Structure formats: C-alpha cells, structure tokens
C-alpha cells in the first residue's frame, strides 16, 4: 500500500521542515506502507529534492520522487526536441526521457514551461513564436503563485498565462491534477491508498484521478478559515502527523 505525499506544505514549508513530518513518514514505513512524494514544483532537480528531504530528516531514493517536470516530459516522445522556459528540474526530466533541449528559435517540437526566475522578454518572445508556429505547448503546472515566507510570488501558471496570451494557444497542463500526472503515478507507483496534500484544487482533485483517499493538511496554503473545501477530504489534520495518527491510530 502506497501513500502519495505532496512536499511543500506537507513535509516542509518553503524548505523548512514541518514538525513531526519525518516521524510520521517513519511510522508509515514501519507499518509496511510505501511512501512516494509528488511535487508540482518543477524547478529543482531530483537531487535537490532529496537534499531538502534529508535536511528534514527523511531518507528517500530517487525513484520515490515524482515531479510535474517528469509528467511534462512523459508527454513527449524520446528522440524529439523541446525548448524550455523553466528550471533545472525541467531540463533534467527531459534529458532522462531522451528529449533534446534546443533553442526556441530552432523549430522545437514542443515548448515546456515551468517556474523560473530567469526570464527575458527575448526568450518569452521566441517561445511564443515557436508555439504559434505549431510547437506543442506544455506547462509543468498551472499554479498562479508559489508561497514564500514573504508572501506569494508568481508561479509557473503566471508564466504559462503570459505565453498563452502572447501565442493565442491553450497549454496542456501536465502536473497535478492533470491526466499526465495520473498516468505517471499509474506507471511508476500503481495503486495509491491515501494522497496527502495542502490544496484541494490540486492534491484533492488529483486524489480523484488516482482513485485514492484524500487527506488535507492545514500546514500549508489551506487554513481552518477555508473549510469546507471541495472535493471533501476523507481526513483533515493540522499536520501529516495528525493524519497518520487518524489513519493508523495513536
């Protein structure tokens, strides 16, 4: 039996460990459950994610981490090409998939967009032109913002919207709660027992895609004031530890 855990807002908040999350994961593993992480954050590499997990006291292996970058890469056939507006995680996932990363001006088969802080008007313009000329427009995720300790900052969805307006083309969104993400979980994980996340509109909807039970934690973007949410969670807890206590018994 596998539990699928979101990272930001569940295991950590902006990289700072959430109290009890490491112990909760240990408890799940001790009970014989497999724990797999799925993040919509496309920027970091798998090694980056593993390093932050280790800092939070969680040992994991590369095959226990799924990302929206991998979901985006899975939509492309090996041997094809893509231009990237996004971070190292997107480039890594494309390389693993066997997709060549090329300039937007060189007639790529696809343009893959994720959150990056390194943007230029020139790059965006070239990407919009490639999309208008028929390159497949794939976004890792559509989150409008990303939470930081200083408040929300523009997310992948904001960059995606820029390119969509500029090209007149609607993107395919690969990450949670999209179909490509669901297929990635089906291929790499199989059946999921419980999905834990901090957002009903991504993690909650995705639990329906993976036909798993949805556990909502209030340690991320969703607070008490936002309840009730749709889809209705099977469990609600302050933290992952609370959810594990409810599911396994204290």
Q: Which of 2, 4, 5, 6 binds Mg ion (CB under 5 A)?
A: 6
- The answer to whether 198 contacts Mg ion (rule: CB under 5 A) is yes
Restricted to residues 202-221, the positions that interact with Mg ion (CB under 5 A) are: 220
**CA distance linking residue 230 with residue 248, whole number of Å:** 24
Residue (13 or 22) nearer to Mg ion, CB: 13
Q: Which of 220, 218, 201 is nearest to 209 (CA)?
A: 201
Stretch (H or E) spanning 85: strand 81-85
DSSP letter at 201 equals I
Beta bridge partners of 177: none
Q: Of residues 4, 5, 9, 90, which one binds Mg ion by CB under 5 A?
A: 9
Nearer to Mg ion, 10 or 112 (CB): 10
Q: Is 8 in the site for Mg ion (CB under 5 A)?
A: yes
Tell me: does residue 108 bind Mg ion (CB under 5 A).
no
Q: Which residue is nearest to Mg ion (CB)?
A: 9
Q: Which of 93, 87, 83 is nearest to 118 (CA)?
A: 87
Other Cβ atoms less than 10 A from the Cβ of 1: the count is 12
**Toward Mg ion, which CB reaches closer, 163 or 240?**
240
**Which residues make up the interface to Mg ion (CB under 5 A)?**
6, 8-9, 198, 220
């Amino acid at each position: 039996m596998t539990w699928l855990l979101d990272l930001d807002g569940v295991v950590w908040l902006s990289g700072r460990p959430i109290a009890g999350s490491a112990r909760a994961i240990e408890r799940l593993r001790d009970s014989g459950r497999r724990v797999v992480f799925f993040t919509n954050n496309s920027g970091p590499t798998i090694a980056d994610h593993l390093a932050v997990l280790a800092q939070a006291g969680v040992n994991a292996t590369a095959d226990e981490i799924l990302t929206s970058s991998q979901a985006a890469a899975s939509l492309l056939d090996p041997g094809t090409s893509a231009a990237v507006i996004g971070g190292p995680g997107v480039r890594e996932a494309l390389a693993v998939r066997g997709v060549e990363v090329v300039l937007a001006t060189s007639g790529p088969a696809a343009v893959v967009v994720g959150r990056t802080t390194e943007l230029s008007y020139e790059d965006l313009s070239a990407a919009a032109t490639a999309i208008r000329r028929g390159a497949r427009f794939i976004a890792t995720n559509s989150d409008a913002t990303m939470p930081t300790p200083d408040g929300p900052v523009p997310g992948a969805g904001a960059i995606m919207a820029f390119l969509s307006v500029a090209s007149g083309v609607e993107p395919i969104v690969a990450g949670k709660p999209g179909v490509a993400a669901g297929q990635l979980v089906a291929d790499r994980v199989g059946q999921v027992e419980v999905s834990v996340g901090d957002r009903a509109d991504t993690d909650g909807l995705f639990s329906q895609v993976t036909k798993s039970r949805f556990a909502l934690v209030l340690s991320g973007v969703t607070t008490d004031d936002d309840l009730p949410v749709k889809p209705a969670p099977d469990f609600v807890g302050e933290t992952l530890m609370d959810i594990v206590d409810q599911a396994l018994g204290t």
